[in-house]
Structure 1
């Protein structure tokens, strides 16, 4: 297959591109600069967003587009940062919609990244793809607008991949979350009762590929493991695997003082389950947190 990835030079995009190349697909990465990606594979091509807009014919014949583009949410949420976070996502969806309209042969599917935070915050409810959106905070509102922008992409099949916390050793939030345990300072954050809907990076790229290949999958898809855990359970799993104590709680007021509104990512959450993927037959390599930790942190 010929697959284009916007945001392909990022954490998930890099891993996805390598996975697709390993299975002999042809991959086009759309990035702000061609210098951001090492082009060492004969089936890997890199173009800029400007080239995509001015020369859409370069992507003529792509079978699928995966949109992972968007400014990182892992920064203090000032008013300017909030505007950039939202605008980057809406702009990416709009550019892809314009590209699709310009192509003679439309891609069969677009997989557009989204966020599991669209379900809102709860310590008791469980959310699958049939659960309604519940806009309780800034991040949920971003996801709602992001998905609405994706609806303008005119393809036969649109998948809205509602991504949870992606666990990998090289980038993302997980290395920072595990760091205190390396220095014997790990513990729950806040109450520890908040849910974390997580997914291993390997399962993330496998699920994206599964959504591309499976013609029956469309609409919202929760990209999270079958067994979400509380923050306290998550930390204890890190400690067990590393042979470190889980004893040093971080109070909520300190997180709010340090990170401002961004602290919502660690202090609040939702329990999402990947009902649609499991019903379609997707098999997780790391369905539970202990198997994921053994892979990421085991000796």
Structure 2
């Protein structure tokens, strides 16, 4: 198995899961951690993108390649920042396309990262993998270009799964620690109107879903990585407050967010109601299908 972006929030959890399952894992990263230059039998092997370009043969015979590489959305959306977010995603896909063409024995499946933002935002519509995509804003534009670039690396011998990810909640990274913080400090409340949908998934479930997609040849094309029970922001906040035993009272005005964050405020103020139709049709079972189960688990393991 190979994971591009295997040192990130989702990638590192996936690597740990596969190592525990007894798989050999290669992590493709920009810079190899100094302490991990020498890997043991129970540790992943690291390779840089530059090393991969000069020595593609290390990837011969992979069972699967997962590409989660991309610059974080949690940065200032200046023109340079937005270009960094987009180019990091496109460049990783292009590098993988070059790699695939060089390999004699290509991986059986590629799981390519994407995002539910590709559907655009809506408070009334419901989306699944059969829904049309929409270019509405920066996030949907990035997702569309990301998937279009990924389509160029399709090879007849390789199955492609496009992982459209929602808000991944976990204790060690992603958005959840920041979303939880106001409640821990005692002044949590709704964000904006609170009526925007949040399509979320527990970190452990997205890792299991990636593994499930790799192991099941029937799964191909877009795959929504979200729980079957999306919630509105108001319910999300009330659930966190309830599980943490904290008050729910101080709203965060949309205008304040727009002044502070500018275009980036869309991450908190806009959303979409996305369902994992394909995962459910293919028999995947969520360990944390409801938000109260997910937040309770995160509190237990904090």
Q: Report the TM-score, using the length of structure 1 for normalisation.
A: 0.97
Cα RMSD between the aligned structures?
Answer: 1.2
Counterpart contact for 2:39–2:45, Cα < 8 Å: no
Shift in CA distance, 234/270, structure 1 to aligned 2, threshold 3 Å: same
State the match for 2:33 in structure 1: 35
State the match for 1:161 in structure 2: 163
SS for the counterpart of 1:199 is: strand
> 1:153 deviation in Å?
1.6
SS for the counterpart of 2:52 is: helix
- Choose the corresponding residue for 2:22, options 13, 24, 28: 24
Mean CA deviation greater in 28-37 or 172-181? 28-37
How is 1:211-290 mapped onto 2 (pairs within 5 angstroms)?
A: 211-290=213-292
Unaligned stretches of 5+ residues in structure 1: none
State the match for 1:87 in structure 2: 87
CA distance in 2 between partners of 1:35 and 1:74 (Å): 22
State the match for 2:115 in structure 1: 115
Counterpart contact for 1:118–1:141, Cα < 8 Å: yes
> 1:40 deviation in Å?
5.2
> 1:61 deviation in Å?
1.1
Counterpart contact for 1:100–1:154, Cα < 8 Å: no
Counterpart contact for 2:6–2:29, Cα < 8 Å: yes
Deviation string, structure 1 residues 232-257 (Cα, Å, up to 9, x no partner): 00000000000111110000011111
Shift in CA distance, 298/34, structure 1 to aligned 2, threshold 3 Å: closer
CA distance in 2 between partners of 1:154 and 1:62 (Å): 16
State the match for 1:9 in structure 2: 7
Counterpart contact for 2:164–2:224, Cα < 8 Å: yes
Counterpart contact for 1:122–1:271, Cα < 8 Å: yes
State the match for 2:131 in structure 1: 131
Unaligned stretches of 5+ residues in structure 2: none
SS for the counterpart of 1:210 is: helix
Deviation string, structure 1 residues 38-76 (Cα, Å, up to 9, x no partner): 465415211000011111001111111000000001112
CA distance in 2 between partners of 1:170 and 1:84 (Å): 24
- Choose the corresponding residue for 2:193, options 184, 191, 200: 191
> How many residue pairs are counted as aligned between the two chains?
297
